[in-house]
Every structure is written in structure tokens, then in C-alpha cells.
């Protein structure tokens, strides 16, 4: 079957699009399409929670892998000494912080 270029088949253009040929005025009688709808952006509570989580995580210190390995090695070799006063002070500070958060 051969398809020829002649006949009554005409190209179709999208609605609201006018044929503008150089030297010819655009067709003003065709349908006018409305302006495209604008996208709406909303910030939900989830995004606010994510922003808060990012702030909290940015305050967390970086893990010192070398220090952890040194402590592991010292424990394995029996050289690690526990400072009970320092442990008690930090434990009390943590409890105070938790109690302060519960009151707020």
C-alpha cells in the first residue's frame, strides 16, 4: 500500500495554537486558551519536622573512630581505667537535662 502526499489530509495543531506565517497576521478568531494554572507549594508539618531534625542532627558531634578503637584496645589489654567521679558527674548532668526537658 502506498501513501501519497496528496488528498484531503491536513496536519492537526493543538487547540488554541494559531498558524502564524511570516507576513501574515495571526488568526484572532480562534479559541483563546486560559493562562496555565500555577503550581501550589505548601510546607507541611512533616517538612517542618524534617527541618527541626536537620538542626538537631547538625549539633551532634562527629564520632571519633580512632578514639573508639584506642579505647577498645585499652580495654582488651586491661589498661583502661574508669574514672568513677567523671561517670557519676556525667550521669547526674544527663538526669538533670532529662528532668528539665520533661518540665518544659
Provide the whole-model pTM.
Answer: 0.33
What pLDDT was estimated at residue 23?
Answer: 57
5-53: pLDDT as tens digits: 555 555 555 555 555 555 555 555 556 666 677 887 777 788 888 988 9
40-95: pLDDT as tens digits: 777 778 888 898 899 888 888 788 889 999 999 999 999 999 999 999 999 999 99
Cα separation of 33 and 18, whole Å? 11
CA distances to 48, 49, 64, 89 from 61, in Å? 23, 21, 9, 20
Cα separation of 49 and 45, whole Å? 6
Residues in contact with 84: Cβ distance below 8 Å, sequence separation at least 6, in sequence order: none
Rounded (10°) CA dihedral 21, 26, 31, 36? 90
Amino acid at each position: 500500500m502506498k501513501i501519497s502526499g496528496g488528498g484531503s489530509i491536513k496536519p492537526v495543531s493543538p487547540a488554541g495554537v494559531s498558524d502564524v506565517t511570516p507576513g501574515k497576521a495571526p488568526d484572532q478568531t480562534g479559541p483563546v486558551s486560559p493562562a496555565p494554572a500555577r503550581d501550589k507549594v505548601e510546607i507541611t508539618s512533616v517538612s517542618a519536622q524534617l527541618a527541626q531534625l536537620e538542626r538537631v542532627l547538625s549539633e551532634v558531634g562527629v564520632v571519633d573512630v580512632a578514639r573508639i578503637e584506642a579505647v577498645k584496645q585499652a580495654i582488651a589489654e586491661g589498661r583502661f581505667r574508669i574514672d568513677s567521679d567523671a561517670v557519676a558527674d556525667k550521669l547526674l548532668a544527663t538526669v538533670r537535662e532529662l528532668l528539665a526537658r520533661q518540665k518544659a
